[in-house]
Amino acid sequence: MVGIGFYPSPPPCPAKDTRAPPSTEEGGDMTTDPNAIQPSELDQLPDRDPEETAEWQASLDAVTKAAGPHRAAYLMRRTLERAEEPA
């Protein structure tokens, strides 16, 4: 009999996650690499180049001041689109 004597009962089996992975529309990532960094995790990483980040932020501040927040937001969207293009 399991659990009596010298042998403890085996631990319960973890419940199998039957949920589908989130789609990209739900903010998920369709990658199958379990070690891949998810977009929601990027802001939790240490900044590898704070000086470069400060330069980008200063440039964005200058655009916002000179051309307004809509122009700055447009430039950020275009920059993000370009960053996602294949090399």
Pick the closest to residue 31 from 43, 41, 46 (CA basis). 41
So what's the pLDDT on residue 37?
Answer: 75
C-beta of residue 63 within 8 angstroms of C-beta of residue 72: yes
So what's the pLDDT on residue 16?
Answer: 57
Encode pLDDT of 34-84 as tens digits: 778 777 777 777 888 999 999 999 999 999 999 999 999 999 999 999 999
- Looking at the predicted structure, is the pLDDT value of residue 18 above 80? no
Tell me which of 5 and 86 has the higher pLDDT.
Answer: 86
Q: Which amino acid is at 41?
A: E
So what's the pLDDT on residue 6?
Answer: 54
Is pTM beyond 0.85? Reply is: no
C-beta of residue 58 within 8 angstroms of C-beta of residue 65: no
Around Cβ 31, how many Cβ atoms within 10 Å? Answer: 11
So what's the pLDDT on residue 42?
Answer: 72
First CA to last CA across the chain, in angstroms? 61
